[in-house]
Amino acid sequence: MNVSNQTALKGTIEKVIYKSGENGFTVLALLVNATTSVTVTGYLSDLHAGESVIFQGAWGFHSKFGRQFLAQSAESQLPSSALGIKKYLGSGLIKGIGPKFAERLVNKFKEKTLDVIDQEPDLLFQVDGVGPKRVQLIISAWQEQKEISKVMVFLHGHKISTGFAVKIYKAYGQDSIKIIQENPYKLAQDIWGVGFKTADKLALDLGFETNSLKRVSAGVLHTIAQVVDKGSLYAHVDELKKNLFELLELDRESHEDLIKCALRDLYNQDKIKLVSKDNSHYVTLPQYYFSEVGIAQKIKKLQEQSDLRDRFDFNSAYKLVRSVDKNGIALNEDQQQGVMSCLQNKLSIVTGGPGTGKTTLVKKLLDVLEQKKIKFRLAAPTGRAAKRMFEGTGRSAETLHRLLEFTPAGMNFTRNEQNALDLEFLIVDEASMIDVFLMHAILRALPMRAHLVLLGDIDQLPSVGAGDILNDLIGSCVVSVVRLTEIFRQAQDSLIIVNAHKINNGEFPVSSIPGSRKDFVFIKEQDPEQVFQILRDIYKRRLPAAGISVSDSIVLTPMNRGVVGTQRLNQELQMILNPKDDAEKQASRYGTIYKIGDRVMQIRNNYDKFVFNGDIGDITDINRVDQKIKVSFGDRELEYDFSELDELVLSYAVSIHKSQGSEFGAVIIPIFMQHFILLQRNLIYTAITRAKRLCILIGQPKAIAIGIKNNKGVERLTFLRDYLTTDLQAR
C-alpha cells in the first residue's frame, strides 16, 4: 500500500465496518463533512457511530479498496450535535437504548440528551412509554460504560486490544486498573481469551523488568498450561526450561539460576508439583497431580471391596446372559464375556468400534440387573451422547454433570465422598471423552459397594480435556477389559461401518459393496476452493433427496484455520443455509455476524450457565436494544450478553475433535493436504463414526491415504498407569 505524509483527520464516525477481537484492527466510515465519507483503518480503541474523532495518521492507497486513511491514534469526543447523539446512542452502546428509542430521546432533549442521561436521569420519565425499569437499566448501563471506557483508554494507551475491557471490568469492577497495574499477569489467569503474551506485553510496558521473578513465575505457569492444553498433564523440566527461555526471550547462560529460583518459589508455595521417574523430572499443577493420584487410589480401594457374589448366583446370571431375548437376539462369546466381566469386577471397560454390539451387550447387562433388582444409572459426558444411550437401551440416561449434581455457585459437584450416589452400578458411555477431572469426580461420587462400567471406542480420538484416561486404564492391566471386534451382519450392510473398520485397519475406504446401503460417498477433489460449490450441491440437492435435514447434518474438518477450516467453512455455510439479512435481528462481534436460526457451539466451560465446551445450540432471538442473544440447547434456552459472544462460534462446521460424543444423520468431511500436520488415522476414523445415515468424504486421495497410514497419534504425558501399578508420587 502506498502511504503519504503524516496528517490529522477530523470527522464523525458514520459506521464501524469491522473490528478484530484479537488485535483491535478496525475499519470504519468517517463523515468528514455533510456529503463526504472516507474509510479509516488502524489498531484503535473501541469507537462508536456518532463520536467525533481526531485521527493522526497518513493517507494510503489500497490496491483493492482504494484510498484509505491509516490511523496511528485517535482522540474521541462525545458527539455534540443532535444527529451525532442519535447515531451514538443508536449504535447499541447503551443497553436499553436502540435506534428507535434513541430517536425519541433526541427528539425530546436535543443536544442536551447525553447531559440528561448523565446528570439528570429522572427527566427520562418525560419520554412517553418510559418506566422505572427502563430508566434504571439506562442509568446502570451508562455508568458501567463510563467505567469500561476508562479501562479501554488505559489498555489502548498501552497498545493492548480494548476488546477485553468489558470482561476485565466485570471481573475486577472499579479496581480494574489498580489490579492490572499491580499484577498484569493476573489477566492471563482470570480473563478468558487474554493470553500470556498479551499480559506480558502490558507488564513490560508498565515497567516490569524482563528478568523479574514475577514474570518468570507467570511464564512457568503459562508453559505448563500450554502443555495441558495439548492433552498432557506433565511437562518435562528440561523441555519446560527450553520453552520458557524462548517465550521470555532470555538467554539460558545468564538466566538459568533465575528459572530455578522461580520453580523453587512456585514449589514452596505449592503452586506446582514435581514428579521424578527414571532420573527425569516433571512438573504439573497441583490439581492435575491430585486428580490422577485420586483416581488411582479410589480404583485400588474399589477393587479391595466385595463384588456381587453375595447377592446372587452367577450360574443363573450366566444362563440369562446366554439366553435369546424376545427379539431373537443372542450374544456372541465376547459379548457374553463382557456382561459377566461387568458383574464380576468392580471396574470394567467394554470397548469396540461401530457395529460390534456394545449397545446389545449393555441391554443384556441391564436385563440381568433389573431381574436381580440391582440399582443402576446410565450416564454420558454430553447431552447428545446421553440421548443416544437412552434411544439404544430404552432406559433413562443423563449427563455426568447432572448425575454428579454440579453447582455453578460452588463451582463443584454436590456428589462426592460425603454425599455418594445411591446406586450399585454406574454405566458410562463415550468413556474416551472423559478427562482427568471428570474421571476423578465420577470416582469420588461412587460408593464403595458400586460397580463402574466404562463403554467407549479406544480407537477414537482421546478426550478434548487433559489426560488419557481410557488408554491409561487399559494399559495399566489392573482393570478388566473386553474388546468387541466382530461386526454383526446387520451392521455389515452399512458402508459407513465397513469403512470405519477399514480405516481402523489402515485400509482406504471403498465407495460400494454389492448389497450394501449407499450411505458412504467419496468425492475426489484436488482444489480446496471447490469445496464450497460441492457443499452447496450437497445441502440443496443430496441431503433433501436423502430426507436429511440441515439440523441433522454437519461438516467436520481437522482444523480451524485455512481454506477448509471451520472459520471459513462457517462463513460460507452461513451464506448458503441462513442467508437472511435483517440488520435489526443480527449481532456482530469480532468480525462474526450472528443471526437468528444460526447453529452455534459453546467453546469454553461456562459453569454459571451450566453449558460446556462443545455443546451445540441454535440462536432463537437477538435483542439489539438490551444486547442479549438467546440460544436453545435442546431442553434449555440460555441468554447471553453481547459481551459474551466470544464464547460462541458458528457450528455449521466444527473440528473433528469437538464432534466427539455426537452423531448426525449426515456428516461431510473435507480432507486436504493443507491439513497435513493433523492427519491421523484416529482423526479420520472418529469423523466417519459420527455419521448415522450418510457420510460424504471430500478431498485429495493422497491426503486421506497419509492420514490413514499415520497411526502414531500424539502421546500424552500422564502417570496414571504408574500410580496404579507402582508407588510413584510427587516429591
Give pLDDT tens digits for 422-435.
999 999 999 999 99
Question: Quick one: what percent of the chain has pLDDT higher than 90?
Answer: 52
pLDDT surpassing 70 at residue 410: no
The model's confidence at residue 97, banded by pLDDT at 50, 70 and 90, is confident
The whole-number pLDDT of residue 310 equals 63
Whose CA is closest to 165, among 13, 49, 19?
19
3-class secondary structure for 291-326?
HHHHHHHHHHHHHHCCCHHHCCCHHHHHHHHHCCCC
pLDDT surpassing 80 at residue 515: no
The model's confidence at residue 718, banded by pLDDT at 50, 70 and 90, is very high
Neighbouring-strand partners of residue 108: none
User: Residues 308-314: what's their mean pLDDT?
Assistant: 67
pLDDT surpassing 70 at residue 99: yes
User: Residues 248-261: what's their mean pLDDT?
Assistant: 89
Q: How many CB atoms lie within 10 A of CB 60?
A: 15
The whole-number pLDDT of residue 21 equals 58
Helix or strand or coil: residue 711? coil
The model's confidence at residue 2, banded by pLDDT at 50, 70 and 90, is low
Cell of 188: 492471563
The whole-number pLDDT of residue 610 equals 84
The whole-number pLDDT of residue 157 equals 74
The whole-number pLDDT of residue 695 equals 96
CA distances from 575 to 550, 569, 570 (A): 14, 10, 9
The whole-number pLDDT of residue 137 equals 85
The whole-number pLDDT of residue 668 equals 97
pLDDT surpassing 70 at residue 23: no
DSSP string, 327-386: TS----HHHHHHHHHHHH-SEEEEEE-TTS-HHHHHHHHHHHHHHTT--EEEEESSHHHH
Q: How far is Cα 510 from Cα 293, in angstroms, rounded to an integer? A: 45
The whole-number pLDDT of residue 162 equals 67
Question: Which amino acid, residue 453?
Answer: V
User: Residues 97-108: what's their mean pLDDT?
Assistant: 85
The whole-number pLDDT of residue 523 equals 95
Report pLDDT digits (tens) over 632-648.
Answer: 998 789 999 888 888 99
Report pLDDT digits (tens) over 133-157.
Answer: 888 888 888 888 888 778 877 886 7
Cell of 667: 456428516
pLDDT surpassing 60 at residue 49: yes
The whole-number pLDDT of residue 317 equals 78
451-455, 589-593, 683-687, range with the lowest pLDDT: 589-593
**Where do the H-state alpha helices sit in 191-251?**
196-205, 213-229, 237-248
The model's confidence at residue 80, banded by pLDDT at 50, 70 and 90, is confident
Residue whose grid cell is 489402515: 506
pLDDT surpassing 90 at residue 527: yes
CA distances from 710 to 231, 506, 520 (A): 19, 8, 22
The whole-number pLDDT of residue 459 equals 92
The model's confidence at residue 7, banded by pLDDT at 50, 70 and 90, is confident
Q: How far is Cα 275 from Cα 263, in angstroms, rounded to an integer? A: 13
pLDDT surpassing 70 at residue 4: no
Whose CA is closest to 714, among 358, 208, 231?
231
> Of residues 132 and 397, which shows the higher confidence score?
397
pLDDT surpassing 70 at residue 237: yes
Q: How far is Cα 230 from Cα 240, in angstroms, rounded to an integer? A: 14
Whose CA is closest to 448, among 306, 586, 551?
306
Mean pLDDT of the chain: 88
The whole-number pLDDT of residue 582 equals 78
Q: Is the dihedral of CA 364, 368, 373, 374 positive or negative?
A: negative
Q: What is the CA radius of gyration of the chain?
A: 29
626 φ/ψ angles, rounded to the nearest 5 degrees: -85, -5
The whole-number pLDDT of residue 326 equals 74
CB 413 within 8 Å of CB 437: no
Give the end-to-end CA distance of the chain in Å, rounded to a whole number: 58
The whole-number pLDDT of residue 312 equals 66
Report pLDDT digits (tens) over 668-700.
Answer: 999 999 887 888 999 999 999 999 999 999 999
CA distances from 580 to 155, 493, 541, 576, 597 (A): 36, 40, 20, 10, 10
Averaging pLDDT over each range in 134-143, 279-288, 383-392, which range is the top one?
Answer: 279-288
Question: Quick one: what percent of the chain has pLDDT higher than 70?
Answer: 95
Q: How far is Cα 452 from Cα 496, in angstroms, rounded to an integer? A: 31
pLDDT surpassing 60 at residue 22: no
122-126, 158-162, 199-203, 261-265, range with the lowest pLDDT: 158-162
Q: How far is Cα 238 from Cα 275, in angstroms, rounded to an integer? A: 13
Q: What is the 8-class DSSP label of residue 39? A: E
The model's confidence at residue 703, banded by pLDDT at 50, 70 and 90, is very high
CB 446 within 8 Å of CB 413: no
> Of residues 125 and 293, which shows the higher confidence score?
293
The whole-number pLDDT of residue 45 equals 66
